[in-house]
Every structure is written in structure tokens, then in C-alpha cells.
Amino acid sequence: MDAAAQARFDLISDNLAEFLNPEIIENILIRGDNPKIYWGTATTGRPHTGYFVPALKIAQLLAAGCDVTVLLADIHGFLDNLKAPIELVENRAKYYDKTITAILKSVGVSTEKLRFVLGSSYQKSPEYVMDVYRLASVISEHDAKKAGAEVVKQSDNAPLSGLLYPVLQVLDEEHLKVDCQLGGVDQRKLFVAATEWLPKLGYQKRAHIVNPMIAGLSGGKMSSSVQDSKIDLLDSPEAITKKIKKAEAAPRVVEENGIVALVEYVLLPAAALKGKKEFVVERREGEPLVYTDIKQLKEDYVNDILTPQALKPAVSAGLISLMAPIQEAYQASAEWQDITEKAYPPPVVQKKVKKVKDKGSRFPGNLPVREQASK
Ligand code: TYR
């Protein structure tokens, strides 16, 4: 590889947890071509600050001259245990479109260079559906279950759609005509399955780039379904400050520390993209602490030179300024606000109805009334 190709490869591989089959990308770069890479997201719960990690990677991929596709996987949204109910999925996809565009812009990605694709726009074509049948006939139930184990919700008597989920995700690589897929470490089993399954249909195996995932604010993984574990991309500055203040961050411990992770995987890389890799922590006494790499910050944290009390306000301030353009875009768009209401309507509560003695009537007259929760 010449120096220019090497520089592109280094950008693609920067800050990854893992690179599967890098030779596929190396060969494309040696030929002087642009690798085609996609990142897919199932349109389920509301995107949170964890989405900065793929957003920052996408920024790097574009800087490395890759052709990048963002897949809004609407069908996957309901295949996974109806996480997106079918009647909401269209608005969820629109919500994701707005939010993902805004988060990418906030890290300086010019979204004109990206291709956005809606899963249902091609996953219902005869060719695609026939491939689903073909793949489903050569993959065992056991292997499909294993491939989705860390992504698809597991339960007793789970819906059949959960087994289709990995089949479709693997086929997406072929039908989106890409060389590589990007995803978090939770996708790893699916990625390995893709390299094994596609050749069974005579298709080529792809490369996979695996992002680290940031720890949640309450320990464990950052998850859309655990309120206190995450910061919503539309949380107000006050809410951000409150959540960071409340977050678990044991002094001297950097492992599984969601606050340190935000600096490592979001704030420092975002600063680097903007041209100055630097993170500043003001202190009540003494000079501010200035970090240009995470190693130094972790060392100070372990030695309690950098305390959680000093770190937290700096992280809040960093996130608030990074997320300000997202907030502004939201406030300025009546359309986006309307989509939000439709995509995530307030929960419907079952109103208690006095039990009327059943006189054997089959009329639905005494069924509980579904009522909109008062706001
Ligand atoms: N599995 C991804 C997630 O957990 C979503 C996805 C769906 C990615 C389809 C790629 C794909 O082709 O969000």
C-alpha cells in the first residue's frame, strides 16, 4: 500500500474495537477505489448520545473517501419483537431520518455526501424476498438464533420474526452492494454469521468494522429502554446536567465508567474532528486540567487527581455544546416536532371500568375503554 492508501486505511481503522477481514478493504484501497460501507440502525426507541460513536466513525469514513450508506432499518424495527409497532414504524423511520441527519451535521458531516436508504424500499422486492427464502432454507434455526442473540430481544416462545432478523441483515450487505458493514460490538455475532452465510448463496463475504460501545450512565450498556442509562439527543441542557450529576462514576475506576467513556468515545474524537483534540476540566482550585489524549485523563482519574466532581461538569458542558445544533434544528422544525408526537405518542393507559356483571352478552359494550393519557 502506498502512503496515501495507508492514510485512508488508518482513518478507517481508527478507534475500532475490531476489524474483520481488513484485507477486503486494503485491496480496494490498493486499487485506488472508494470502499462502499454501510451502517444500519433499526428504527425503534429514540436515538441517544451513544449514536455519536457511529456518527463520528461515519465522519472519518467520509474523510477517508468512502461511499457511505445509512440504512434506516424500518422492517427490522418490528421484526425484533415489535419494538416498533407496525402502525408507528413509518413515523419512527421519519424520526430517525431527522435525528440521524442532525447528529451527523453536529459532528461536521455534510449529509449530501451520504446515501440514506429505507429498508422497506428494497426489502420487499421479489429478488430480495426470494433471497430470504433461499437463505432461510440453508441456515439452521440454531444458527439464526445464535447470530441474533445480542441484538434481538430473547424470550420464551419468541416470535418467528426474530429468526428472520439476522437473515435480512446479512442479505442487506449484498442488496445494498457494499464492501463492508459498520456496527457496534453487539453486532459481532451477526457480522461473523454474514461472512459464513453469504457464500452459501454464492455471494461474496464482506469486511466488518466494529465500533466500541459506551457504557451507560447507570452501569451496564447504554440502552434506549433504560431511561437513566442514556441521554436523549433532544434532552434539554438542564436534563443533561441532571443526568450527568446523577450518573454512576466511582472515583479512581475507569472501567465501565459511563462518564469517562463519553470523553473517550464522544468528546475527544468530536474535538479532534473539529481540528483541536483537547478536553478541558476547570478546577475550583489551581489551573484547569487540559487533556489531549484519554490515556493521560485515565491516569489522573485513577490517581484521583481528576475527581468525578471535577469531571462531571466538564462533560455536561461538552455535551451541551455538542448537542446545541441538534436542539436548535429541532426547535426550528415544526415538521420534526409533529413527527416526534406521531412516532412516540404518549402512553395509552387502560382506564379502569367498573365491572358490570356479565349477563352472557357477547356485545363488546362493557369492554374497557382505551383512553389517551391526559398530558
Ligand atoms: N442490527 C442493527 C441494530 O441493532 C440494525 C440493522 C438492521 C443493521 C439491518 C443493519 C441491517 O442491515 O440496530
Q: Give percent above pLDDT 90 in the chain.
A: 85
Q: Tell me if ipTM is over 0.95.
A: yes
Q: How far apart are CA 92 and CA 142, in angstroms?
A: 31
Residue 71's pLDDT is 98
Confidence of residue 156 (pLDDT cuts 50, 70, 90): very high
Q: Is the CB of 172 under 6 A from ligand 1?
A: yes
> Is the pLDDT assigned to residue 237 strictly greater than 80?
yes
What pLDDT, in 10s, does the model give residues 352-371?
766 655 444 444 444 443 43
Q: How far apart are CA 73 and CA 69, in angstroms?
A: 12
Residue 348's pLDDT is 78
Taking residues 288-301, report their average pLDDT. 97
Residue 351's pLDDT is 72
Taking residues 46-59, report their average pLDDT. 96
Q: Is the CB of 40 under 6 A from ligand 1?
A: yes
pLDDT averaged over the chain? 92
Q: Give percent above pLDDT 70 in the chain.
A: 93
Q: Give residue 54 CA to ligand 1 midpoint distance, Å.
A: 12
Q: Which atom of ligand 1 is nearest to the CA of 44?
A: 13
Residue 372's pLDDT is 38
Distances (CA, A) of 61 to 139, 143, 148: 32, 31, 26
Q: Whose CA is nearest to atom 2 of ligand 1?
A: 41
Q: Give residue 263 CA to ligand 1 midpoint distance, Å.
A: 26
Q: How far apart are CA 45 and CA 42, in angstroms?
A: 9
Q: Give residue 42 CA to ligand 1 midpoint distance, Å.
A: 5
Q: Which atom of ligand 1 is nearest to the CA of 187?
A: 1
Contact by Cβ (8 Å): 106, 326: yes
Contact by Cβ (8 Å): 101, 111: yes
Residue to mutate (ligand 1; options 41, 58, 186; most atoms within 8 A of CB): 41
Taking residues 21-39, report their average pLDDT. 98
> Is the pLDDT assigned to residue 157 strictly greater than 90?
yes
Taking residues 176-200, report their average pLDDT. 98
Q: Whose CA is nearest to atom 4 of ligand 1?
A: 151
Helical (H) or strand (E) element with 370:
strand 370-372
Q: Is the CB of 41 under 6 A from ligand 1?
A: yes
pTM of the model: 0.91
Residue 355's pLDDT is 60
| Residue of 118, 113, 100, 117 lying closest to 52 (CA atoms) | 100
Residue 39's pLDDT is 98
Taking residues 44-72, report their average pLDDT. 96
Q: What is the chain's alpha carbon radius of gyration, rounded to the nearest angstrom?
A: 23
Q: Give residue 91 CA to ligand 1 midpoint distance, Å.
A: 18
> Is the pLDDT assigned to residue 114 strictly greater than 60?
yes
Torsion-angle region of 220 (φ positive above 0: left; ψ -120 to 50: alpha; else: beta):
left
Q: Which atom of ligand 1 is nearest to the CA of 169?
A: 12
Q: Give residue 174 CA to ligand 1 midpoint distance, Å.
A: 14
Q: Give residue 258 CA to ligand 1 midpoint distance, Å.
A: 24
Residue 357's pLDDT is 54
> Is the pLDDT assigned to residue 111 strictly greater than 70?
yes
* Full DSSP string of 15-43: T-SEEESHHHHHHHHHTTPPPEEEEEEES
Q: Give residue 41 CA to ligand 1 midpoint distance, Å.
A: 5
Residue 196's pLDDT is 98
